[in-house]
Amino acid sequence: MFVTTGYHPENPLIVQGDHTILAEVASPHYAAARDSLSRFAELMKAPEHVHTYRITPLSIWNACAASVTTEEITQTLIGFSKYPVPEHVLFEIRDFASRYGRVKLLRDERGLVLQANEEALAEQIARSKHVMPWLGQRWSPLEFAIAPAARGDIKQALIKIGFPAEDLAGYSDGEALPLTFRALTRAGLPFSLRPYQREAAAAFHAGGSARGGSGVITLPCGAGKTIVAMACMERLATSTLVLTTSVTAARQWIAELLDKTSLLEDQIAEYTGDLKQVREVTVATYQIMTWRSRKDADYPHLKLFDSRNWGLIVYDEVHLLPAPVFRVTASLQARRRLGLTATLVREDGREDDVFALIGPKKADVPWKVLESQNWIATAHCTEVRLPMPAALRMDYAVADSRNQFRIASENPGKLDIVRRLLAQHPEEPVLVIGMYLDQLDQIAGPLGLPVLTGSTPQRKRDELFARFKNGQIRVLAVSKVANFAVDLPEASVAIQISGTFGSRQEEAQRLGRILRPKQKGNQAHFYSVVSADTVEQDYALKRQLFLCEQGYSYSIVDVDAGERGLPTAS
C-alpha cells in the first residue's frame, strides 16, 4: 500500500521499500529536500546526479534527539516524493521513533533513575540479560535505581536491545573557566566564527538545557572542527579536557587556543609522553591515555579523567576512539562530552556506542556544500594505475593475499610516477603519503625528500612541519602519522603511494590534509598511485568509496611503462 497517489515529476525524491531514498540533484526542489533529509537520513552516496540516503533506526534516533518529529519526517517524504511513498516505510519510521524516549534517565532526590513509559516495557528491560546487570533497586513498576557509575553502561545495553535512553539526568558544571574569542589573532588577522561553526556550537549547547551538552559534530577536514569545539567551550565557560590523536595535534590545539581565545599560556597544559601537566584546559593524546607497562596492567593515565572537575571532554577524531577510552567514557556520563569527526564511519562498526556514550549527532554539513561556499578547497581526485614490473609478477603470483598487497604497494615503478607528478606541480606544496616505511625511504631518497614517520622524534617532527608551513620545504614524505589532526593548510597536492587496505576513513583523512582553504586558487589535487590488475587496485576502490559518497569523483589514468608523461585522465 502507498499513502499518496499520483506522479509528481518536479519532485526530487524516490522513496524505496528498502528504506533508501534517491534524490535527483537537478530538481528545483532538491536543496530544500536535502536540507530536510539531512535531519533524519544518512547520506550514503553523492555522485554527480543522484544522491542516495538511507533511513536506519540510528538515523531516526539522531533525529529524535534533535527534536525532529515523525510528522516532519513524513511530510518531507510525502511532500518531496515523485511517487507514492510505501506505507510500510512510514510505519517503520514511526516504530523507530516511538522507541526513542520510551526510556529516560532522570535525576531526583533519590539519585539516578531509569524510567520506562509503560509497565510491559519495564518488565522487558528487567528481564533482559543485557540490561539486568546494570539495574539497581526497582522503586516502582516503571522505575529502577541506577548507580552513577553505570549511567553509560545502561545506555549501551539499552541501545543494543533497540530502546535508546533519552538521558535527561544533566551534567556537573565543572570548574568555571570564562573565555572569549579574539577579534584579531596574535598575528593581527581578523577572526570570526563562520555561520556553520556558530550553528554547530549552538546545536550542541541547546541553550544549556539537559538535551544539550553531549553529542557529535561532523564536518569535513579543513572546515574548522577545532574552532567549533572552542565555540562550545566559550558557551559553557568551564574547564576542558581535550583528547586527540598525536603530540603534533595536541600542540596545534594549544596553538589555536592561544591564537584565537583569551586563554593564557598558564591556563593550558599538554599531557603527552613528553609532558604531563594538568591545567584548566588540558590537551592529551589517545596514545598516552591507553599506555600501560604490560598487557595485563592497568592504564595509569586514565586517572587524568578524574584529576580535575572537568566540565567538558572533547574527543577529537571520535571515530578513532580506542576501546579503553570507550570503557572509561561509560563512567563519565555526568560530564559534558563533544565528539569531532569528518566521518562517523568506524571500521569496527561501533557507531551505536558513539551514540550511547558520546551522544547523538548534533550537526553534519556535507563536504560539497562547504566546497561550493569556498570554505574548503575544491579537490580533483585521480587514480594513477601503473603495471607491475615483469621481475615481480611471479613473486606476486605465488604470494599470499597480504604479501600480494605489500608487493603491489611497493611497486618500484611508483618512484617515476611521483617524479612526474612533482614535475606537474613545480611550485605547489606537496605531501607524499605512504604506509610502508621502506617504500617511503626508497622514494624519498632519490628525490631528496625529508621523511616524517612515527619514529621521528617529536622535536624533529615539529621542525619539519614548521619548515613545510613556512615554505622552506616544498615536498614532504609522510607516513600514517600525518593522517589525523595535522594542520598543514599550505598543502595543496597529496600523492598517496600506499594505503591501509580498504580503509575509507584513511582516504577521507588523507584528502583532508589538502582541503583547507588556499590563498591562491583554492584548488587541491589528490593522487592515488596503485599497481594495475592487483589486489591493491581492488582495495583502492574500497578506500575511494567514502569520497565518492561525498560527491568527489575519481579520474582514472593508466600509465604504460614506456610513457614519458602522464596521459590525460580517461
CB 270 within 8 A of CB 260: no
Tell me, yes or no, whether 112 and 224 share the same domain: no
Percent of the chain at pLDDT > 90 equals 52
Q: What is the pLDDT of residue 111?
A: 92
Backbone angles phi, psi at 403, to 5 degrees: -70, -30
Tell me, yes or no, whether 351 and 268 share the same domain: yes
pLDDT tens by residue, 84-119: 999 999 999 999 999 998 999 999 999 999 999 999
Q: Please tell me the least confidently modeled range out of 50-64, 140-154, 240-254, 542-556.
A: 542-556
CB 493 within 8 A of CB 431: yes
User: What band does 509 get if pLDDT is binned at 50, 70 and 90?
Assistant: confident
pLDDT at 1 over 70: no
pLDDT at 564 over 60: no
Q: pLDDT: is 488 or 123 the higher one? A: 123
Global pTM value? 0.78
Total tally of structural domains belonging to the chain: 4
Domain end, chosen from 341, 365, 389, is at 365
Tell me, yes or no, whether 381 and 346 share the same domain: no
Whether 458 is in a domain gets the answer: yes
Range of the domain at 345: 195-365
HSE-CB for 232 with a 13 A CA cutoff: 34
Q: What is the pLDDT of residue 503?
A: 65
Whether 190 is in a domain gets the answer: no
pLDDT at 161 over 80: yes
Instruction: For residues 205-224, give the mean pLDDT.
Output: 86
**From the CB of residue 394, how many other CB atoms can be counted at a distance below 10 Å?**
9
pLDDT at 469 over 70: yes
Instruction: For residues 504-523, give the mean pLDDT.
Output: 72
Q: Could you tell me whether strands 523-531 and 378-386 are parallel, antiparallel, or unpaired per DSSP bridges?
A: parallel
Whether 311 is in a domain gets the answer: yes
Q: What is the pLDDT of residue 107?
A: 93
pLDDT at 83 over 90: yes
Tell me, yes or no, whether 350 and 384 share the same domain: no
Per the prediction, the chain carries an average pLDDT of 87
Whether 173 is in a domain gets the answer: no
Tell me, yes or no, whether 499 and 526 share the same domain: yes
Instruction: For residues 300-321, give the mean pLDDT.
Output: 90
Tell me, yes or no, whether 431 and 554 share the same domain: yes
Tell me, yes or no, whether 260 and 323 share the same domain: yes
User: What band does 489 get if pLDDT is binned at 50, 70 and 90?
Assistant: low
Q: Please tell me the least confidently modeled range out of 36-40, 150-154, 449-453, 501-505.
A: 501-505
- Region of residue 313 (left: phi > 0; alpha: psi -120 to 50; beta: else): beta
Tracing cell 576513513 back to the chain, one arrives at 505
Q: What is the pLDDT of residue 187?
A: 82
